[in-house]
Structure 1
């Protein structure tokens, strides 16, 4: 498999994961928050916010899938930077704003997929530099 195909696959798979997580939030918000060890959703408004967030996650996952299938290298570079900064920002939010600690699970997942994509991007860049010579 070429480095470009590995890079594309890393984003398609990350997108599929996001779509699945978003759909879980949309369809089963109470169960999903329970599985994430978060506080129970006590009001209908809280459930609506979780479902709305889930819908946004589905759309972002769709963008990742499309970018992966189309090979949008500039999107890959931008997304890796954003995904690498998610965990530190999440940790700051936990410290300063009392965001629930179990959300670290999502930050770690994003960090791991970002590191995978970063390794694929480095291999792609190396492959491209060899082709230019």
Structure 2
């Protein structure tokens, strides 16, 4: 797998509701991306909605827009929709979908992508790979 994006996430706020058998969290966040393909910032409005069952399994759906430059140094925006599942052991794997106005990154819109959420150096990272 080839890493396309390494996005550092900064959690801003968490709102949650708990029921008997599940919990729903809405997590707002900011962050930045530094990779050979794209460098930029997450624009205001990034949100991750998580539905967590009593057994610890759950789903997440994050949506956010980034503005920055692609590998040709052209200004561009990248929209990411990242849907995934949470395993009981806490691992989170996702299937990202990307929309961009970058000619250099347009191929990502149809590429087979895979994502992971990982802790590195005390920070949360979203890693997006092409299969």
Q: Greater relative contact order (Cα 8 A, min sep 6): structure 1 or 2? A: 1
Higher strand share: 2
Say whether the fold is shared (TM-score over 0.5): no
**Could you tell me the TM-score, scaled by structure 2's length?**
0.23
Higher helix share: 1
**Could you tell me the TM-score, scaled by structure 1's length?**
0.23
